[in-house]
Amino acid sequence: MKAAVFRNPHQPLTIEQVDISNPKSREVLIRTAAVGICHSDLHYIDGYYATPVPTVLGHEAAGIVEKVGSEVDYVQPGDHVITCLSVFCGYCEFCITGRPFSCVNPKTARPDNEPPRLSQNGEIIHQFYDLSSFAEQMLIHEHALVKVRKDMPLDRAALIGCAVTTGVGAVVNTADIEIGATVAVIGCGGVGLSAINGAAIAGAGRIIAIDIVDSKLETARQFGATDTINSTVLDPVETVRELTSGGVEYSFEALGTKRTSEQAFEMLRQSGVATIVGMVPEGQMIEIEAAELTNDKRLQGSNMGSNRFRVDMPRYVDFYLRGQLKLDDMISKRIALENINEAFKDMKQGELVRSVIVFDPE
Catalytically annotated residues:
38, 40, 43, 59, 162
> Does residue 118 come out as left (phi exceeding 0), alpha (psi in the -120 to 50 range) or beta?
beta
Q: Is 252 exposed, middle or buried (0-12, 13-18, 19+ CB in 10 A)?
A: buried
Alpha-carbon distance values, 303 to 23, 80, 277, 307 (Å): 28, 25, 8, 8
Order the strands of the 227-230 sheet from edge to edge. 227-230, 206-211, 182-186, 248-253, 268-276, 298-301
Helix (H), strand (E) counts: the chain: 10, 20
Distance CA 288, CA 179 (A): 28
Residue type at 234?
Answer: L
Distance CA 123, CA 116 (A): 9
